[in-house]
Chain A
Amino acid sequence: GQSLEQPSEVTAVEGAIVQINCTYQTSGFYGLSWYQQHDGGAPTFLSYNGLDGLEETGRFSSFLSRSDSYGYLLLQELQMKDSASYFCAVRGPRKDSNYQLIWGAGTKLIIKP
């Protein structure tokens, strides 16, 4: 079966750095994506890792280790507007999921002033 695990909630202070981890179990793997969703809003794409290593986009970075089936999203210089839920998603193999994007349950990031 396919599964993703990420913490349900993370709390951090404005201006700090926070890391949201994601571990996955799939029998095949075609990349790890991260999406942000504000309360009442739609998910928006943040980043994608197809290969091992770090991808940086402004204040956000995402890391992938395929050998460890592990990735993380790193948010720097936290701002209050970063308070949202963050989802990791993995594309599974054809056999089990018809290549569909499998989503984690999301991590609610709470930022305190």
Chain B
Amino acid sequence: EAGVAQSPRYKIIEKRQSVAFWCNPISGHATLYWYQQILGQGPKLLIQFQNNGVVDDSQLPKDRFSAERLKGVDSTLKIQPAKLEDSAVYLCASSLDWLVLLRGQETQYFGPGTRLLVL
């Protein structure tokens, strides 16, 4: 079974530039997550999709971050314009079905992440 795919693996940009990340979840996984992980910290949820709908985007800085999952499969996360503090690893994760597993174990499968450095 193929895992969660992400690209690019690394990106260096200057502040005020734009950047986009792509994620392809495990086939059949209805739930997709984008996390931001700053060095030395745990992952912070940015947005969660259930199929092509947004479940939670309360921690997404909507003035500069946007995400979509138009066909309920792969997803893109965009930052425009980038700030220095956006330097982090952006992790995409997927799980079978968040609603079904809400009160039980929900294993999230993570992609390798995209390391973003904003100069």
| Proximity bits, B76-119, A CB within 8 Å = 1, else 0 | 00000000000000010100001000111111111111000000
Does any Cβ of A come within 8 Å of B42's Cβ? yes
The interface-forming segment of A12-20, A63-71, A73-81, A98-106 is A98-106
How many residues in A have their beta carbons less than 8 Å from beta carbons of B?
Answer: 21
- Cβ of A41 and Cβ of B112 under 8 Å apart? yes
Q: How many A-B residue pairs have CB under 8 A?
A: 52
Does any Cβ of A come within 8 Å of B48's Cβ? yes
| Proximity bits, A29-55, B CB within 8 Å = 1, else 0 | 011010000000111110010100000
- Whole-angstrom CA separation of A110 from B48 in the bound complex: 33
**B104: nearest residue on chain A (CB-CB)?**
A50
Residues of A within 8 Å of B98, CB to CB, are: 99
Most buried by A among B41, B91, B105: B105
Task: List 6 A–B pairs whose Cβ atoms lie within 8 Å, in order of A's numbering.
Answer: A42-B4, A43-B110, A87-B42, A100-B45, A104-B42, A106-B42
